[in-house]
Structure 1
Amino acid sequence: MLQSCFWVDKLACRWREILAHSFALYIFDLDGTLVDSLKDLACAVNRVLEVMGCPQLPEQQIHGYVGQGARWLLEESLKAAGATSDRLEEARGHFLPIYSEQLTTHTHFFPQALETIDTLSKNGARVALCTNKPYELTEKLLKHLGAWERFEIILGGDSLPTKKPDPAPLVHIMQHCGVSADNTLMIGDSTFDIIAGKAAGTATCAVTFGNHDKNTLQDEHPDFMIEQLSQILSL
């Protein structure tokens, strides 16, 4: 069942505007939104920690650090493993080669992800991808999964000087597609996606099956919350 978050006291007019039509541009996050990559990310992080002589972490703990790019993921993982911050660059040097090898071992699309994207495109909508994953790894993963050509534009975490939660990547995508913010929906599983969307002026949709739990997402007041990707087609 579609779940929408209504804060009528502040946003009643916005809801009427949002619900009056579907969107011309849909911008998707990747990890935790379209693909389940947690196991591969956790395996790569623990391999880095092992190489550095640090204790490994439970997968679920690492999952909480996913969503704001590799630097944040490694910073928080090192901290949790008791390593000093001056070892971050060492960890980063290990991470990309290790994760690149691990990238496609377990990662897969969530149910209905490809069908939803294809239906949106067939209905005339524009579909874009905005992830904090490095562009090179994003390209490798999507080509492996056979989805690279499904997006009109793809931005990685290193495609621009800033990344989510900064709104610049979303603004860049809207300018590229020639679509206004009030006709754009940002879909993601983390607070960073919702913050970026709101800062860019788009409508926002949080998915509840990704890296951030429902209560954490609700704190950012997304316009919509959904439990499965096909519900986007009803917005």
Structure 2
Amino acid sequence: MKFKGVIFDLDGTLVNSLEDISDAMNAVLQGLHYPTHSYTAYQYFIGSGLRNLVSKALPDTHNNANQIDICYDLMIEVYSNSCTNKTKSYDGIFELLDHLSSNNIKLSVFSNKSDELTKQVTATIFTNYFESIIGLTTELLKKPNPIKAIEISEIMGLKPEEIIFVGDSDIDMQTARNANMFAVGVIWGYRSKEDLLSSGAQYILNHPSDLIALL
């Protein structure tokens, strides 16, 4: 099968957004006099959407639905004004996107970050690469639910099996397999090679250029 399209996760795959996300959540926690967390801790909070991250960051004594809602709104307010302060593309990503585009490979982004923020971050850092940029609109459609990934394949005009799904987490690998796409894990993101392989990765990238060899 010749692959004709690539769907990329955003955080931990195309961009390193760990510090901006962590700083925003820690600002909320500090404002409420709750304990904050290290960047290393946030590395394992990321991946299942920002609401889930808020829940993981809150202390057990204040981890209820009402407090999660309040802190989520506060976090989004802070993060939306600082989401590209420190966020940068990983080394080699622009070169990869240029190569894929010049070879008529269709490209899209699918993230568990909110749809508005996914579009904001992607549009700020990347221009004119992606056919579709889709983030989270409702918890029911969150990865590893494959519905949105399959919708993206339809937008791209491709069969799922013609698409490579590239991500840095177990959630991404599960999404790829659920959507019948080729699951590719990257080791420069927020999870280990072992985590990716155990979650169904069919190929591992040590550097963005490794994807060119696969294609």
Identify the TM-score tier after normalising by the shorter chain.
Answer: over 0.9
Name which of 74, 95, 100 aligns with 2:75: 95
Going from structure 1 to structure 2, the CA distance change for 1:112 and 1:159 (only over 3 Å counts) comes to farther
**For structure 1, which segment, 129-138 or 193-202, has the greater mean C-alpha deviation from structure 2 after superposition?**
129-138
> What's the Cα RMSD here?
1.5
2:207 alignment counterpart: 228
1:205 is paired with a residue of what secondary structure?
A: strand
Does the aligned pair in 1 maintain the 2:174–2:200 contact within 8 Å?
no
1:224 CA displacement = 0.2
Any stretches of 5+ residues in structure 1 without a counterpart? 1-20
Going from structure 1 to structure 2, the CA distance change for 1:160 and 1:52 (only over 3 Å counts) comes to closer
C-alpha separation in 2, matches of 1:192 and 1:131: 10
Which amino acid is 1:69 matched to?
Answer: G
Match status 1:74 vs 2:34: no
1:27 alignment counterpart: 7
C-alpha separation in 2, matches of 1:188 and 1:119: 19
Superposed CA deviations along residues 33-84 of structure 1, whole A, max 9, x for unmatched, are 000000111101101111222111112111111011111111111146x532
Does the aligned pair in 1 maintain the 2:169–2:196 contact within 8 Å?
yes
TM-score (normalised: structure 2): 0.94
**For structure 1, which segment, 115-124 or 25-34, has the greater mean C-alpha deviation from structure 2 after superposition?**
115-124
2:62 is paired with a residue of what secondary structure?
A: coil
Name which of 102, 121, 133 aligns with 1:154: 133
2:34 is paired with a residue of what secondary structure?
A: coil
Does the aligned pair in 2 maintain the 1:79–1:85 contact within 8 Å?
no
Match status 1:110 vs 2:90: yes
Larger Rg: 1
Superposed CA deviations along residues 86-144 of structure 1, whole A, max 9, x for unmatched, are 41011111011101122111100001111111211110110111011112112222232
1:135 alignment counterpart: 115
Does the aligned pair in 2 maintain the 1:23–1:183 contact within 8 Å?
yes
Does the aligned pair in 2 maintain the 1:139–1:148 contact within 8 Å?
no
1:201 is paired with a residue of what secondary structure?
A: coil
1:133 is paired with a residue of what secondary structure?
A: strand
C-alpha separation in 1, matches of 2:63 and 2:47: 22
1:221 CA displacement = 2.6
2:183 alignment counterpart: 204
C-alpha separation in 2, matches of 1:160 and 1:176: 22
1:219 alignment counterpart: 198
Does the aligned pair in 2 maintain the 1:207–1:226 contact within 8 Å?
yes
Which amino acid is 1:206 matched to?
Answer: G
Does the aligned pair in 2 maintain the 1:54–1:83 contact within 8 Å?
no
1:18 alignment counterpart: none
1:188 CA displacement = 0.1
1:6 alignment counterpart: none
Does the aligned pair in 1 maintain the 2:177–2:200 contact within 8 Å?
no
C-alpha separation in 1, matches of 2:20 and 2:36: 14
2:162 alignment counterpart: 183
**For structure 1, which segment, 200-209 or 218-227, has the greater mean C-alpha deviation from structure 2 after superposition?**
218-227
C-alpha separation in 1, matches of 2:110 and 2:123: 16
Going from structure 1 to structure 2, the CA distance change for 1:25 and 1:171 (only over 3 Å counts) comes to same
C-alpha separation in 2, matches of 1:35 and 1:63: 13
Identity of aligned residues (%): 27
What is the count of residue pairs matched by the alignment?
Answer: 213
